[in-house]
Structure 1
Amino acid sequence: MDDVGATTLDDDPLTLPPAWTAPARPPLPVVAAIVPVVGAVALWLVTGSVFTLWFALLGPLIAAATLLDARRASRRDGRRASVEAARARDRVAAAVVERHDAERAQLWLRHPDIAHFDAREDDVWRGGPVGPIVVGAGERSSTVRITGGDGDPQSAAVRRSAARLNGAPVAVPAEGGVVVVGADILAAAVQRALVLQLCLAHAPGDVCVVGPCEGESAWAQDLPHRAAGTGARLAIVGPGCRVPADADIAIARCRPGDPLPPRCAAVVTVTSPGAARVEHAGESVDVEVEAVSLAQARAVAVRLAARAEHSLGIARDASAPITLAELRAEGAAGSQPDGGLPAVIGRAGTAPFIVDLVQDGPHAVVAGVTGSGKSELLITWILSLCATRSADEVTFLLADFKGGTAFDALAGVPHVVGVITDLDGSGARRAIESLRAELRRRESTIAAAGARDILDPRVRLPRLVVVVDEFAALLADHPELHGVFADLAARGRALGIHLVLGTQRAAGVIRDNLLANCPLRLSLRVTDPTDSRALLGVDDAALLPGGVAGRGSALVRRAADAQPVPVRIALSGPDDVAAAALRGGEGTSLKPWLPELPRQVLLSELAARGPVPLRSLLLGIADEPERQRQPVVVLSPADRALLVLGGPGSGVSNVLDLVSAQAPRSIRMPADGERVWDAVTALAEQPPAAGTLLVLDDLDALATRFPAEYGHALWERLDTVVRRAGEAGALVLAGAHRVPGQVARLAELFPRRLLLPYPTRMDHAAAGGDPSSFDPAAPAGRGRLDGRTIQVALSPAQPRETHAAAEPWEPSARLTGVVARRSPSSRHALAVWQASGARVCGLDEYAADPSATADGRVVLTGEPEDWQRHWRVLADVRGDHDLVVDTSCAPELRVLVGFRGVPPYCEPGRGRAWLMSAGADPVRIVLPAPDSGRTVGASR
C-alpha cells in the first residue's frame, strides 16, 4: 500500500516518564536496637531497679519501627510516581490523538475522497497530474514519535497506538489499475466511487474517460471527461470486458471467482456493505470503502458537466442537449449584416456559435463518421437559416444519399424546393445536372439587372443552398457529377449558390479543386487522423470521443480561424420546423429543375406542343435538365437510320409502330421467314424511294432464324439495303433486343441509336449504353437517344397487315421433272397433279419409251440418285422443261441443276420446292398438301 509520504504537523517527539522503581529495602538498625539494651543494663546496674530493664525492649521496637516506616515511605512514593506516570501517559495519549487527527486531516486533504470533495467543493479539479487513488479508509503507520516509558507496559501500549493511524486514506497508484471484486450491486457502487474520485480530483483534459460506457456504466456518459480529448485515459471496465489497449488507468469490476483482468495491480474485495480488503504489492489491509448509488453518480456527473461548461467552456453532453429553440430564444443570430446567411448551430463554451455561409464560405464541408451527429447538424443548420430568412431570401435543395429519410422532417418547409434521394438514381442525377441550367439562369438574370453579383440590390434572387448528406455515396453512384459540383463551387459565390457537402471521409473523396472552394470546414468525430488533417489541418477531430458522449461534438474552422473551434451542436425539434414554416413568405419557391418526364405520352400530346417540321415524324419528349427544357423529338429522312434496342417489354415494337403510323409510305419487314427473304432480296435489287420508311423488326431474331448459308447471304443483302436506302433518301428504322455479332456489324450503319430499358445493368452496357445511365425503374418507352433521356409516345392502335394464302403450284408444261424423296407429302402432291390430268411416270419407264408420254402433261418423278443415273433425261428436262426440286433434296440441288447461288429460302416442313424453268434460276413454289399451304406462291 502507498503510505503517501505524509508528515505530521509537529515533528517533535513526545516523551513518556520512565517506569517507577521501588527503593532498596533499608538495613536492620543494629545500633539503634542495641543502644536501648545497653542503656537499660547501665541503669539497672546503677539503680538496681529491675524495672529499668524494660527499656531494653525499646531497641527491637525501634528497629521494627524503622523498617515499617521505610516500607510505608516506599509505598507512598510508588503511588505518587504511578499517578504522575498516568498523568504523563494521558498527556502523551491526548497529544497522540491530536497529532493523529492532524496527520489524518493532512492525509485526507492531500488525498481526498468523494466525501471530502462534497464538503470542500473548492478542492474539485485541483489534483494536477494523476497520482495515487484512495481505495478506502483503514489503518496505516503513523509518523508520530514517542520516547521514554521504557519498561512500562502501559507506556508500551501508548507507543503501539501512536505508531498506527486508523481511518487514514489507503491509496494505491492509479496508473497500476484497480479491480473491484464482489457482488454486482456492491462492487458497482464501489467502482462508481473510485471513478468519481478521479473525475472530482482531476479536470477534463487531465483525465478523459475512454472506452464504451454502456449498461451500468452508462451514467459516465454524463461526465465532462467523456468529451475530453486529452489527458490520462481512464477506462471503466465491466465484468467480462477487456481493458482497452489505449487506457492509462483501468477501474475494473469482476464477480467473485472470475479471473482478474490484466493491468489491475490493486484488488479491492468487497466483503460487506462499506467493508473491503485491499491487496497490493504483497500487502493486505482491511478498509472501509465508499459506495455511490447510480442516482448519486448521475447527479455528480451532471454537476461536473455544468461546472465544466461554466469554468472550462466545455459544453454539456448528450444527457443535457443544447436545443435550437433555446439558442433562438436567446436571440443568438439577431443582428447580422445584410446579404449574409448567419445561422446559430450550437455553443462554443457558453457562447452561441454562429456560422455564415456568405462571410465564412461560400461553401462548406461537414465530415463525421456514422453516429457522430452529421445529419442532425445539417438539419439544425437548415432550420436555423429558415427561422431567420424567408423563402424569398434563401431556398434549399436537399440530397440524401444515406437511405432517403434524413430530411423527411423538412419536406413541408417552404424554403425547401426539392429533396432528392438515392432511392431515385435517375431523378437525383437529373436534379444535379439541372443546376448547370440554374447557373445560366442566374447569370442572365444578374446581367439583365445590370449587376455584377447577387449582392446588388437590383437583383431579386433567393440564395440557393445545396445540402448533400453522404456526398461520397452520391459520387459512387454518379461519378460524372463531380464536375457539376466543381463548377458550382467555382461560380456559385457571385450567383448566390452555396454547397454544404456532408461526408464520412474527406480525404480521397472530395477533390482538391472542389475542397479549395470550401473554406468553411466542420468536422465531427472521424476515425482517421488523415481526414482530420485534410479538413482542419490538425488531428483533433480524430481524438473526439465516440458513442453518445461525442455525438454532436464538432470542431469548426473558418477561413479566419487560426485553430479549430470546439462546438457543441444544437438539436432541433418539431417546434423549430414550425418556426421555419412560419418564415416561408408568400411567394412560391422556384424549383431549379423541370418535372420528370411523364411515364406515358400520347401522340396527340406531342402534336399539341407545336408545329412539326416538314417530312418529320414524332417520336417522343426529350429531357434536357442541363438546359431546363423538354423538347419534342422527331425523326426525318436526313437521319438516314435509327436503331432501337431494348429488353423484353421495353417498347421496341411500340417505337416501330409509332413511326410507321405517321409515315406516308412505309415498308415493314414481315414476320414470316420466307417473306423476309423475299423482301430483303427485292430491296437489295431495288432500294426504296426517297421519303419511304423501311421498318426492320427483331433483327437479333433474324441472326439465328436462318441456316448459316442463308443467314450470311441475308445479312449481306441487309447491309446493302441499309446503305442504299440512306443514300436514296429513305429512313431505316430497325429494332432488336440483343446485339450479337451480325447485328453489331449492321448497327455500325445506323448513325442514331435509341436505347430502351434493359432488366440488368450488364445488358444495358452490352447494348452500348453507359452503365451510369442505367435506371432499373425506367418505364417502358423511356430511353436514351443522342445522350438525352426521352419518353417515347404510345403508338395508336392500327391493324396488322395480312397476306393472302397462295394457291398450290400445278404443272402446266408438257414435261415436268420432279426430284423428291419418297414421302407422304411427295406422294400427295403427285396424286393431286395426276387427278388434275397430268400423267405421272417414273424415270425408268420414261427412259424405256419416251414416245409413250408424248401426249398431254407428263410429270417425271424420281429420287436424286435416279435422276443422276438418267443423266441424259435430267439434262433434257433441266435445259428445255420445268424441273421441280423438293426442299428435302436441297443438298443435291447444285449437283442436279448446276446452280451456284443461294436459292430462295424455304421454311422446313411447309411443303416447299424450287422450280427451274428451262434452266432459269430457281423460284419457290408451294406443293399441294392436305392443308393446302397458305404462303406465297413463288419467289426468287
Structure 2
Amino acid sequence: MTSPLDPRIDEPLSLPAPAPPPRRAPWPLLAAIVPVVGGVAMWLVTGSILSLCFAALGPLMAVASIVDGRRGSRREKRRADAEHAEACARVEQEVARRHERERAELLRRDVDAGALLADERRVWRVPADELVVGRGDVGSRVRVTGGEGERADGLRARASVLADAPVTIALDEGVCVRGDRVTARAVARALLLQLCLRSPPAALAVVAAPEDEDWAARLPHRRADAPDGVHRVAFAVDAAATRVRAGTVIAATDADGVVPDACGAIIEVDGPLRGRLLRGTQTRSLALEAVSAAQAGAAADALAERSGADGRDAPDPQVTLGALEPVAAAAGGARLPVVIGASGGSPAVVDIVADGPHAVVVGTTGAGKSELLTTWVASLARTYTPDRVVLLLADFKGGTAFEPLAHLPHVTGVITDLDGAASRRAVESLRAELRRREARIAGAGARDVSDPGVGLPRLVIFVDEFAAMLQEHPDLHAVFSDVAARGRALGMHLVLGTQRSSGVLRDALVANCPLRIALRVAERAESRGVIGSDEAAELSGGEAARGLAYVRRAADVAPQLTRIALTTAPDLAAIAATGARTRASGPWLPPLPSAIGFDAALARARDEGADGDAVILGVADDPERQRQPVVLLRPGVDRGLVVIGGGGSGKTGIVRLVASQTPDALVVPRDAEGAWDAVARAESEPARLLVVDDVDALLGRYPHDYAQIVAERLEGLVRDAGELRMTVLLTTARITGAVSRIIDPLPRRALLALATRAEHAAAGGDGASFVPGRPPGRGVLDGGEVQFALAPDAASAPADRQRSPEPRPWRPTAEMTALVVRAPHRRRVALAEGWGADVRIVLVDEIATGIPLGRLAEAGAHPVVVAGDPESWQRQWGLLQEARARLPIVVGAECAAELRAVTGERELPPYARTRASRAWLLADGRPPERIVLP
C-alpha cells in the first residue's frame, strides 16, 4: 500500500546533468617570472650565486602548480561522476518503484478472469467498459526529464514503457483469436468469462455461443435476446455466428481462418500462452490468459448459483407499497410501527421508536437504498397524522431522491446538497429544536416526549448519503451525535443512509443505532459490521436482487431477508389525498424567498406589533430561534445604516423602499449640483432621515476639491446624527478611503451580493457568511441573513421625488456688472438674444486703457455688462480692481480655475456643471451663488 506522502506517478523525475569536463588550468606566467626577476636583481646587487638559484625556483613552482591543479581536477571529476551515477541510480530505482505502483493500479482497475475468480468480492462489481486481452508493454505515465548522454536517453525510454501491464481494447471493438484450435478456444473462453464475471446478467447478455461450448449455456447471462440497455455479446467460431446483432464479438479461428468483419482487433497465438495483438498497423506482444472448458463450466455454475437461480436471493416477488396493507396505528406516542416490505410472504414491519431510537441503512449504488428510505417515509405518512410524526428529509446525492415526497403534509422540509447555506440553516435549526423540546418537556414536568402533556409530535430525520453530508460539512457529525444521544427522550429519531458505515459513522453514533438495515454491500467486513454476518455481501448485483435487504434489530438472533416495497407515484397521490390537510410545522423553517412584497412584510410587522413610525426593511432569517422576524429602521432614533453591494444587488431598491415610507426624508439626488445643495441643506436644516444612494459614485462625479468637501460634510452629518436626531441611510458599491471614513460611525451594515469572498470580507463580513449568487435584496444584516422587501408599486424613484431646483435664470439689474466668461465675442451674441436690447454688453477689449467704468454707465440708462475672458480682465488690471471694489461680478463655470485670481474670493463656490450656461454671482459681499446665463 502506498503512503499518501508518496509522489504522484506522473510527477516528473529530473536527471542531473553530467559534470562538465575540468577546465585546463592556465600557465602561471607571473608566478614563474616574478621569482626569476627577483633572483636576477638580487644577484646584480649582491653578486651571490645563490640568488640565481632562487631565480630557478620560479619555473619549478609553476610546473608543480600545474601538476597539482590537474590532480585536483581529476579527483573532482571522479567525485562528480560518482555523484551523477548515484543520482541516476536513484532515479532508476524510483522509476522501478513507480512502475510497480502504476502496474498495481492498472491490475486493480483492469481485471482479467483469473483476478475475478480469485476474489469473488469483485464479481459483478467491476464496470465492463473495456476488455483485457492480455499483458504486455503499455505506455507509462512515469516521465523522466533532464540529463544527457546514452544512459539518460535509455532511462527515459525505459521509463516511458510499462512492462507486464494489462492491455485493453474498447468493448465495442471486438476481437478474433487466431491459432491452433485448442489454444484459440481457451483464450476466447477467458475473454468471454471475463465479461460475465465483471457484469451481472441484468447488464450483459450472451446472445450467441457455439453448441459445443455447452458451459456457455449454463451462464446466467445466456439468452438469445435482451432488452434495450443490456450489452449484447456474441461468442463465435465461424463467420456466420458473427451476423447476430451484438455490441461485442469474441471469435476464435484457425491460424489461417477468416477474421470476422465485426472484430477490429486480432490476437495471433504464437506459442503456449504467448501471442501478438494486431490493431491496424500496430503490433504488440502479449502474455495470454486461457481457460479450459472444465474451468469455464465450474465458473458458469458458480455464477448461476450466485444469480439466484435456486431462489435463495428472492424470497418474495417485487411488491408496491400500495399493495401492502398498512399496520394499525399504534396508540399513544411510544411506538411508530410501519410496513416497509415483505418477508417470507408476511409484511415486514419496522418501528423506529421501539426498535431504535435510530437506524442505519447501508447499501452500494444501485442496491435500492433511496427506494427504501422513500418507502419508509411514505409508510409513516400514510399510517400517522402530522400531530403524531413530522419528517425532515436530507438528500446529499443530488436533491432528487426525496423530491416526490416534498408535498406530503408531514414533511417540514427537504434539505439538499445543492445549497450549502441551507444545510447550515438546518444544523442551526436542529440545535434550536433540541433546546425547544427540552424546554417543552421540562415545562410539562414530563420525562420524555411520550407523555401526553408534552403535546409534541415525533420528528424523524431521514438522511440519504450521510457520508457525502459529512464530507461537505464535517461539523455536522457532532450535531447528529448529540441528536442520537438525546433523541429517545426528546422524540427525535435518525435514519441514516450511506454506502459505507466503516470510517463514516463513529462509534458514539453507531452505538445509538440498534436498528440496522443492509442492502447489497461490496465487502464482507462491511456486512459483518452492520448486521453481524456476511449475507449482505453475498447478495448478487442483478436486477432481481435490487431492493433486497437484511433487517436486524437489537433483539434479533439473525438478520431477516426482506423485499423492500416500491413506492409509486399513484401510491404517493393516494397518501396525499387521504392524509391530513394541515401541513406540519417542524424544526426547519423554509428558506427566505428570493423576493418579499411590501404588503407581505407590512402584514408581518403588524402581526409582531411593530412600531408604526418604524420603517420596514425586510425579513430576517433566525434559524437558531426558529423564527423569521421583520427588520426595522427607526428614523430619528437609530443612527443609521450602510448598505454595501455590487451592481444589481438591490441597493437602489432599498433606497426606494425606505423613501416611500418616510415622506419627510431628504433623499440626496444623483446629479452633482442637486447633491451639493441637498448635503448643504442637511447641514443647516437636519432631516429626520437622510438618504444617499451610491455615495462612492457620487463622490466620483466631483473634482477633487468638491469631493473632499462633500465627503467632509457627510462625515460630519453621520458623526453628529445622534445629536441631530437624524438617521442616515447610505449605499455604496466600494469602500474607498473617503467612503470608509463616512460609514465608520454607522453601527449597522448590510452586505448584499458582492463578486468575491475577498470583497465580502473587506466590507466587514464574515467569510463563512459569503454566498455567491445572492438574489437582489438578499444580504447579511445584524449577523443574519435578511431579504429586503420590495418597494410599494406606487413608490417613485428617489431621484424623481427629490430633484434639486433648477438654478434661477439670471438677468442683470444693477447699473453695471462685470462678466468673466470664455470666448466673450461669441457669448455676447447669445447673451444679447437672451437679455434683449435693454441690456448693453461691452467687451473689456473694446475699452480704452485708462477709461474708468463709471463713464460707461453714464452713456445710457440701460444696465451695462462688461464682459471679457480672464486674460482680458487681468490685462486691464485697473478695470478689474474697480470691478472688484464696486460691481457685482459674474464668473462662468468654465472659468472655475481663475475665479479666485479674478475675484479674490477664497471660499469654494457651489458646484456648477460646466458647458451648461452655469455661472456664479458675487455681489454685496455674499458667498457665491449659482446662476444660469442665457
Asked if Structure 1 and Structure 2 have the same fold, meaning a TM-score greater than 0.5 normalized by the shorter chain, the answer is yes
Aligned to 2:70: none
Q: Counterpart of 2:679 in structure 1: which amino acid?
A: V
Counterpart Cα distance in 2 of 1:263 and 1:375:
52
Aligned to 1:193: 215
Is the CA contact 2:337–2:352 (under 8 Å) kept in the aligned structure 1?
yes
Does 2:876 align with 1:860?
no
- SS of residue paired to 2:791: coil
CA drift of 1:731 comes to 0.9
Aligned to 1:600: 597
Aligned to 1:735: 731
CA drift of 1:820 comes to 1.8
Counterpart Cα distance in 1 of 2:698 and 2:690:
16
- SS of residue paired to 1:655: helix
Aligned to 1:818: 819
Is the CA contact 1:757–1:778 (under 8 Å) kept in the aligned structure 2?
yes
Counterpart Cα distance in 1 of 2:269 and 2:578:
61
Counterpart Cα distance in 2 of 1:861 and 1:802:
33
Is the CA contact 1:179–1:261 (under 8 Å) kept in the aligned structure 2?
no
Q: Deviations over 1:30-84 (max 9, x none)?
A: xxxxxxxxxxxxxxxxxxxxxxxxxxxxxxxxxxxxxxxxxxxxxxxxxxxxxxx
Identity %: 44
Q: 1:841 to 1:509 in 2, by over 3 A?
A: farther
- SS of residue paired to 2:266: coil
What does residue range 48-67 of structure 1 map to in structure 2 within 5 Å? none
Aligned to 2:642: 643
Q: Deviations over 1:524-563 (max 9, x none)?
A: 567799999998999998897657477446677877899x
Counterpart Cα distance in 2 of 1:263 and 1:337:
79
Counterpart Cα distance in 1 of 2:306 and 2:541:
22
Aligned to 2:448: 453
Is the CA contact 1:342–1:355 (under 8 Å) kept in the aligned structure 2?
yes
Does 2:905 align with 1:892?
no
Does 2:382 align with 1:398?
no
Q: Counterpart of 2:369 in structure 1: which amino acid?
A: K
Q: Counterpart of 1:807 in structure 2: which amino acid?
A: R
Aligned to 1:659: 658
Does 2:875 align with 1:875?
no
Aligned to 2:842: 840
Counterpart Cα distance in 2 of 1:550 and 1:671:
70
What does residue range 575-614 of structure 1 map to in structure 2 within 5 Å? 577=571, 581=575, 588=582, 590-592=584-586, 593=588, 599-602=596-599, 605=603, 608-609=606-607, 611-613=609-611
CA drift of 1:451 comes to 0.9
Does 2:711 align with 1:715?
yes
CA drift of 1:694 comes to 1.2
Is the CA contact 2:531–2:559 (under 8 Å) kept in the aligned structure 1?
no
CA drift of 1:706 comes to 2.0
Counterpart Cα distance in 2 of 1:669 and 1:383:
58
Normalising to structure 2: TM-score of the pair? 0.60
Q: Counterpart of 2:449 in structure 1: which amino acid?
A: I
Counterpart Cα distance in 1 of 2:912 and 2:232:
86
Is the CA contact 1:367–1:504 (under 8 Å) kept in the aligned structure 2?
yes
Aligned to 1:624: 622
Q: Counterpart of 1:619 in structure 2: which amino acid?
A: L
What does residue range 123-162 of structure 1 map to in structure 2 within 5 Å? none
Q: Deviations over 1:616-639 (max 9, x none)?
A: 333344443443434333221332
Q: 1:357 to 1:758 in 2, by over 3 A?
A: same
Q: 1:760 to 1:308 in 2, by over 3 A?
A: same
Is the CA contact 2:519–2:549 (under 8 Å) kept in the aligned structure 1?
yes
Counterpart Cα distance in 1 of 2:560 and 2:212:
34
CA drift of 1:453 comes to 1.1
Aligned to 1:98: none
Aligned to 2:747: 751
Q: CA RMSD in A?
A: 5.8
CA drift of 1:701 comes to 2.9
CA drift of 1:490 comes to 4.5
- SS of residue paired to 2:611: coil
Does 2:491 align with 1:493?
no
- SS of residue paired to 2:911: coil
Q: 1:406 to 1:870 in 2, by over 3 A?
A: same
Aligned to 1:259: 266
Normalising to structure 1: TM-score of the pair? 0.59
Is the CA contact 1:346–1:567 (under 8 Å) kept in the aligned structure 2?
no
Is the CA contact 1:472–1:509 (under 8 Å) kept in the aligned structure 2?
yes
Aligned to 1:373: 368
Counterpart Cα distance in 2 of 1:721 and 1:694:
9
Q: Counterpart of 1:808 in structure 2: which amino acid?
A: P
Is the CA contact 1:418–1:591 (under 8 Å) kept in the aligned structure 2?
no
CA drift of 1:425 comes to 7.3
Match of 1:702 among 680, 691, 698: 698
Q: Deviations over 1:721-771 (max 9, x none)?
A: 222223322111223456566445533333223455679999877866667
Match of 2:231 among 215, 219, 222: 215
Q: 1:191 to 1:764 in 2, by over 3 A?
A: farther
CA drift of 1:380 comes to 3.3
Largest Rg, 1 or 2 = 1
Q: 1:528 to 1:708 in 2, by over 3 A?
A: farther
What does residue range 331-480 of structure 1 map to in structure 2 within 5 Å? 339-341=334-336, 356-358=351-353, 361-383=356-378, 385=380, 391-411=386-406, 415-421=410-416, 433-456=428-451, 458-471=453-466
Is the CA contact 1:181–1:256 (under 8 Å) kept in the aligned structure 2?
no
Structure 2, unaligned runs of 5 or more: 1-116, 121-180, 194-205, 222-228, 236-246, 252-259, 275-287
Structure 1, unaligned runs of 5 or more: 1-126, 131-169, 200-212, 220-236, 242-252, 268-280, 310-314, 929-940
Aligned to 1:103: none
CA drift of 1:477 comes to 7.5
Counterpart Cα distance in 2 of 1:387 and 1:700:
59
Q: Counterpart of 2:564 in structure 1: which amino acid?
A: A
Counterpart Cα distance in 2 of 1:753 and 1:680:
22
Q: Deviations over 1:248-295 (max 9, x none)?
A: xxxxx999996359999799xxxxxxxxxxxxx9x999x999999xxx
Counterpart Cα distance in 2 of 1:471 and 1:622:
29
Match of 2:789 among 789, 792, 797: 792
Is the CA contact 2:393–2:463 (under 8 Å) kept in the aligned structure 1?
yes
CA drift of 1:688 comes to 1.2
* Residues 726-735 or 768-777, more deviating: 768-777
Is the CA contact 2:822–2:895 (under 8 Å) kept in the aligned structure 1?
yes
Aligned to 1:142: none
CA drift of 1:466 comes to 1.2
Counterpart Cα distance in 1 of 2:647 and 2:388:
49
* Residues 572-581 or 662-671, more deviating: 572-581
Q: Deviations over 1:853-906 (max 9, x none)?
A: 252644332222222323343333334433322222223334334555533211
Q: 1:606 to 1:305 in 2, by over 3 A?
A: closer
Counterpart Cα distance in 2 of 1:254 and 1:350:
52
Q: 1:839 to 1:894 in 2, by over 3 A?
A: closer
Counterpart Cα distance in 1 of 2:536 and 2:547:
12
Counterpart Cα distance in 2 of 1:529 and 1:900:
92
Counterpart Cα distance in 1 of 2:508 and 2:680:
60
Counterpart Cα distance in 2 of 1:433 and 1:594:
11
Aligned to 1:917: 923
What does residue range 168-317 of structure 1 map to in structure 2 within 5 Å? 178-179=189-190, 187=209, 193=215, 196=218, 215-216=231-232, 239=249, 259-260=266-267, 301=304, 305=308, 307=310, 309=312, 315-316=313-314
Counterpart Cα distance in 2 of 1:334 and 1:608:
42
Q: 1:739 to 1:507 in 2, by over 3 A?
A: farther
Is the CA contact 2:374–2:567 (under 8 Å) kept in the aligned structure 1?
no
Q: Counterpart of 1:465 in structure 2: which amino acid?
A: V
* Residues 633-642 or 759-768, more deviating: 759-768
